[in-house]
Amino acid sequence: MDTTTGTVKLHRVLRAPPSRVYRSFLDPDAMAKWLPPHGFTGRVLHMDARVGGSYRMQFTNWSNGQIHAFGGEYLELVPDARIVHTDRFDDPNLPGEMRVTIAFTPVLVGTEIAVVQEGIPAVIPTAACYLGWQESLQLLALLVEPEITG
Protein backbone atom coordinates (compact mmCIF):
# COMPACT_ATOMS: atom_id res chain seq x y z
CA MET A 1 0.00 0.00 0.00
CA ASP A 2 1.35 3.41 -1.01
CA THR A 3 1.51 5.62 2.07
CA THR A 4 3.21 8.65 0.51
CA THR A 5 1.26 11.88 0.67
CA GLY A 6 0.89 14.74 -1.72
CA THR A 7 1.11 18.51 -1.45
CA VAL A 8 -0.57 21.19 -3.54
CA LYS A 9 0.30 24.88 -3.60
CA LEU A 10 -1.97 27.49 -5.17
CA HIS A 11 -1.70 31.22 -5.58
CA ARG A 12 -4.34 33.75 -6.67
CA VAL A 13 -4.95 37.48 -6.53
CA LEU A 14 -8.54 38.47 -5.80
CA ARG A 15 -10.11 41.91 -6.26
CA ALA A 16 -11.36 42.08 -2.68
CA PRO A 17 -9.96 43.27 0.66
CA PRO A 18 -8.26 40.71 2.93
CA SER A 19 -11.03 41.02 5.53
CA ARG A 20 -13.69 39.85 3.05
CA VAL A 21 -11.56 36.99 1.72
CA TYR A 22 -10.53 35.84 5.23
CA ARG A 23 -14.14 35.89 6.42
CA SER A 24 -15.21 33.66 3.51
CA PHE A 25 -13.06 30.83 4.94
CA LEU A 26 -14.77 30.96 8.36
CA ASP A 27 -18.42 31.70 7.55
CA PRO A 28 -20.47 28.48 7.16
CA ASP A 29 -22.83 29.89 4.51
CA ALA A 30 -19.94 31.29 2.48
CA MET A 31 -18.01 28.01 2.68
CA ALA A 32 -21.05 26.02 1.51
CA LYS A 33 -21.29 28.37 -1.48
CA TRP A 34 -17.67 28.50 -2.72
CA LEU A 35 -15.68 25.55 -1.37
CA PRO A 36 -17.40 22.59 -3.11
CA PRO A 37 -15.82 22.06 -6.55
CA HIS A 38 -18.00 21.94 -9.67
CA GLY A 39 -20.45 19.03 -9.56
CA PHE A 40 -20.76 19.04 -5.75
CA THR A 41 -22.98 20.73 -3.21
CA GLY A 42 -21.66 21.56 0.25
CA ARG A 43 -23.02 21.68 3.76
CA VAL A 44 -21.27 22.82 6.91
CA LEU A 45 -22.31 20.46 9.71
CA HIS A 46 -20.40 22.17 12.52
CA MET A 47 -18.30 25.33 12.83
CA ASP A 48 -16.40 26.59 15.86
CA ALA A 49 -14.00 29.07 14.22
CA ARG A 50 -11.46 29.67 16.98
CA VAL A 51 -8.00 28.30 17.70
CA GLY A 52 -8.62 24.84 19.15
CA GLY A 53 -12.12 24.84 17.66
CA SER A 54 -13.23 22.48 14.91
CA TYR A 55 -15.41 22.20 11.85
CA ARG A 56 -17.17 19.43 9.92
CA MET A 57 -18.40 19.65 6.36
CA GLN A 58 -19.67 17.40 3.63
CA PHE A 59 -19.63 17.50 -0.15
CA THR A 60 -22.35 15.66 -2.06
CA ASN A 61 -21.69 14.49 -5.61
CA TRP A 62 -24.60 15.94 -7.59
CA SER A 63 -24.41 13.14 -10.20
CA ASN A 64 -24.63 10.10 -7.92
CA GLY A 65 -25.50 11.42 -4.45
CA GLN A 66 -22.32 10.07 -2.85
CA ILE A 67 -21.34 12.03 0.28
CA HIS A 68 -17.76 12.82 1.29
CA ALA A 69 -17.56 14.10 4.88
CA PHE A 70 -14.48 15.66 6.45
CA GLY A 71 -13.47 17.92 9.28
CA GLY A 72 -10.59 19.33 11.20
CA GLU A 73 -9.26 21.62 13.87
CA TYR A 74 -8.22 25.26 13.68
CA LEU A 75 -4.55 25.57 14.66
CA GLU A 76 -3.94 29.23 13.85
CA LEU A 77 -6.26 32.15 13.08
CA VAL A 78 -4.70 35.56 12.41
CA PRO A 79 -7.51 37.88 11.33
CA ASP A 80 -7.24 38.97 7.69
CA ALA A 81 -3.77 37.38 7.41
CA ARG A 82 -3.53 33.60 8.00
CA ILE A 83 -5.52 30.43 8.69
CA VAL A 84 -4.01 27.03 9.49
CA HIS A 85 -6.26 24.03 10.01
CA THR A 86 -6.23 20.26 9.74
CA ASP A 87 -8.42 18.17 7.46
CA ARG A 88 -9.37 14.54 7.94
CA PHE A 89 -11.76 12.49 5.79
CA ASP A 90 -14.36 10.26 7.45
CA ASP A 91 -13.69 7.60 4.78
CA PRO A 92 -11.19 5.01 6.13
CA ASN A 93 -9.90 4.58 2.56
CA LEU A 94 -8.61 8.17 2.75
CA PRO A 95 -6.41 7.93 5.85
CA GLY A 96 -4.23 10.49 7.53
CA GLU A 97 -4.44 14.10 8.48
CA MET A 98 -3.85 16.96 6.08
CA ARG A 99 -2.67 20.42 7.02
CA VAL A 100 -3.98 23.46 5.15
CA THR A 101 -2.30 26.87 5.38
CA ILE A 102 -3.94 29.90 3.79
CA ALA A 103 -2.11 33.24 3.75
CA PHE A 104 -3.82 36.53 2.86
CA THR A 105 -1.60 39.44 1.81
CA PRO A 106 -2.96 42.88 0.92
CA VAL A 107 -1.83 44.05 -2.52
CA LEU A 108 -2.62 47.14 -4.57
CA VAL A 109 -5.54 45.48 -6.40
CA GLY A 110 -6.96 43.42 -3.48
CA THR A 111 -5.67 40.30 -1.78
CA GLU A 112 -2.99 37.83 -2.69
CA ILE A 113 -3.99 34.38 -1.42
CA ALA A 114 -1.60 31.45 -1.08
CA VAL A 115 -2.92 27.97 -0.21
CA VAL A 116 -0.75 25.00 0.79
CA GLN A 117 -2.43 21.64 1.43
CA GLU A 118 -0.07 18.99 2.77
CA GLY A 119 -0.53 15.32 3.62
CA ILE A 120 -3.04 14.51 0.86
CA PRO A 121 -3.77 10.75 0.96
CA ALA A 122 -1.79 8.80 -1.64
CA VAL A 123 -4.95 7.50 -3.33
CA ILE A 124 -5.97 11.06 -4.32
CA PRO A 125 -4.05 12.31 -7.38
CA THR A 126 -2.54 15.73 -6.71
CA ALA A 127 -3.76 16.84 -10.16
CA ALA A 128 -7.34 16.19 -8.98
CA CYS A 129 -6.67 18.33 -5.89
CA TYR A 130 -5.30 21.14 -8.04
CA LEU A 131 -8.37 20.95 -10.27
CA GLY A 132 -10.75 21.00 -7.29
CA TRP A 133 -8.95 23.92 -5.64
CA GLN A 134 -8.89 25.88 -8.93
CA GLU A 135 -12.65 25.44 -9.26
CA SER A 136 -13.21 26.40 -5.61
CA LEU A 137 -11.03 29.51 -5.91
CA GLN A 138 -12.91 30.51 -9.06
CA LEU A 139 -16.16 30.30 -7.06
CA LEU A 140 -14.50 32.20 -4.19
CA ALA A 141 -13.67 35.07 -6.57
CA LEU A 142 -17.31 35.19 -7.70
CA LEU A 143 -18.38 35.51 -4.06
CA VAL A 144 -15.87 38.03 -2.69
CA GLU A 145 -15.07 40.30 -5.65
CA PRO A 146 -18.43 42.01 -6.30
CA GLU A 147 -18.91 45.35 -4.53
CA ILE A 148 -22.63 45.33 -3.82
CA THR A 149 -24.09 48.39 -2.13
CA GLY A 150 -27.48 49.04 -0.59
- 123: CATH: 3.30.530.20
CA atoms of 89 and 70, how far apart (whole Å)? 4
**Residue range 58-106, pLDDT digits in tens:** 999 999 999 999 999 999 999 999 999 999 999 888 888 999 999 999 9
CA atoms of 55 and 26, how far apart (whole Å)? 9
DSSP 35: S
Domain count for the chain, please give it: 1
Domain span including residue 104: 6-144
Task: State which H helix or E strand residue 78 sits in.
Answer: strand 67-78
pLDDT at 5: 83
In the sheet where 98-107 sits, what is the strand order?
A: 6-14, 110-120, 98-107, 82-89, 67-78, 54-61, 40-47
pLDDT at 75: 98
Of 2-11, 31-40, 51-60, the one with minimum mean pLDDT is: 2-11
pLDDT at 3 over 70: no
pLDDT at 63: 96
CA atoms of 47 and 10, how far apart (whole Å)? 24
